[in-house]
Structure 1
């Protein structure tokens, strides 16, 4: 996975022990120079994890071989797959250059939701196990006291076409300052779309749903109310909230909003709450 810098960490398996991690940010050449140190830390019981310092690499954790085959059949193309423990896999998928950490988080949550990955690992900067080092979790300890190695299964410089297509549809904040404000309050969507279709399908769906409102109200259309109504309808029809969020990403109101992530999240949350109250009353 080409990158100018890499985030490398030696992490103690038991977080409750509160043993400090060793963290390094290095170049590719610096990574090679770090191998001896990492081997020593691994031998002393630390897990060795890392990732490129580039949000374009979307991490998916805790998936099976069958899931990997299904992902490839659906059109996904992993950049790296590591067998992190026997018959358990982690992967990085390249969504293409130009996405920021908010967009990466959205895509990571999509992948976890869609493919049954670990939602706790679905963020922009989650690191995966480095192949060639042992997985030191207690549950993986063998009867002879040894531990299984993390093994590289796939490596390629290819871009994932599905994530790259989805990335082009994500609403962007208008300035770096707004993105900083979003990050400060957790402004990325808390959930993301789990659908198997390409994001262009969501845009088309939104277009079909907004059309009757636009035809009826014309220039008097309140797009916020229309988006709320669309969200309620989709939720009532059984669409998961993360997928509703991606449908609303095509909203003109969201794209014009100073903080599109917050607008979409607020709209879906309000629709979900109202629908829950309605069902509870029934």
Structure 2
């Protein structure tokens, strides 16, 4: 029997994150082994599916397993821009909010040790590689664990105990992972600004001591799209990606039709039809597809402008 409080905490957590999640149970090494045993669903689980798993998770926790969550596998192709910062102090968590990176979720994983989940964009997706650089920047600026900067970095699911041996209490029990703050719908007010800022520099070169490269969008223009325009583009991206995925699932399109390039082409068509400036579209594509060559945005926009606007 699962305690009702555990169900409430898990539900509040997944509502605050508002994204499909992958859930994992990580057990201590077996006798004679030196590695932990991790069991992950490796699926994009939604709220009802996660809540249905709670009894199984509670049982695993009782048997010594640590319970984790991370953004679902879908994020490798279209990351929702929600990141987790690990090993923060409470002062660092409060500073995040003061600086415009308000967490949508804060978890106390062990006494005085926190994880903060920050949603950087309201809608749409962020390039996976670019997001790694963004998380590394935040971890460095706020004293987080700079080794834990994967866009799918696991965080602890509250409502269960932290079974690390070093946290064991004098009475033999383990501390609970506590939900400190849950703010559904909270989007960092400076999240998009940070993504734009990081995307404009050669982070690898800067790390090696080289001077940062000028913005790749400088050849188009020096100003960035407004937050309103960026949000419109992100909303268009989400709508077009979902439309294409539905058509693939229904058998109306081939599986290859759901590629990032195909989605970007559809986004460019709809954005042009909506009257969004080509330079704004190009800048957005540079931010979300930083791994592409410099001509990619212009080629995508040119192809989109050559076709009739027949998308819905």
TM-score range, shorter chain: 0.5 to 0.7
Q: TM-score, normalised by structure 2?
A: 0.56
Partner of residue 51, structure 2: 32
Q: Is the 8 A contact 1:108 1:122 kept in 2?
A: yes
Partner of residue 198, structure 1: none
Deviation at 1:167, TM superposition (A): 2.1
Cα deviation, 1:173-208, whole Å, max 9, x if unaligned, reads: xxxxxxxxxxxxxxxx776xxxxxxxxxxxxxxxxx
Q: Which runs of 4+ in 1 moved over 4 A?
A: 13-16, 169-172, 240-253, 259-264
Q: Is the 8 A contact 1:3 1:52 kept in 2?
A: no
Partner of residue 62, structure 1: 87
Q: Distance in 2 between matches of 1:76 and 1:242?
A: 27
1:111 equivalent in alignment to 2:138: yes
Q: Distance in 2 between matches of 1:70 and 1:82?
A: 16
Cα deviation, 1:141-187, whole Å, max 9, x if unaligned, reads: 11111111111111112111222222245549xxxxxxxxxxxxxxx
Give the number of equivalent residue pairs: 200
Q: Which runs of 5+ in 1 are unaligned?
A: 173-188, 192-230, 265-282
Q: Distance in 1 between matches of 2:95 and 2:188?
A: 14
Q: TM-score, normalised by structure 1?
A: 0.61
Q: Distance in 1 between matches of 2:219 and 2:68?
A: 41
In the alignment, which of 78, 88, 91 is matched to residue 113 of structure 2? 88
Structure 1 stretch displaced more, 12-21 or 162-171 = 12-21
1:71 equivalent in alignment to 2:86: no
CA, structure 1 residues 43+164, in 2 after alignment: closer, same or farther (shift >3 Å)? same
1:243-254 paired onto structure 2 within 5 Å: 245=212, 252=219
Q: Distance in 2 between matches of 1:242 and 1:261?
A: 21
In the alignment, which of 148, 157, 180 is matched to residue 130 of structure 1? 157
Q: Which runs of 5+ in 2 are unaligned?
A: 1-15, 221-282, 295-312
Q: Distance in 1 between matches of 2:40 and 2:211?
A: 38
Q: Distance in 2 between matches of 1:263 and 1:245?
A: 18
Q: Is the 8 A contact 2:93 2:116 kept in 1?
A: no
Give me the CA root mean square deviation: 3.3
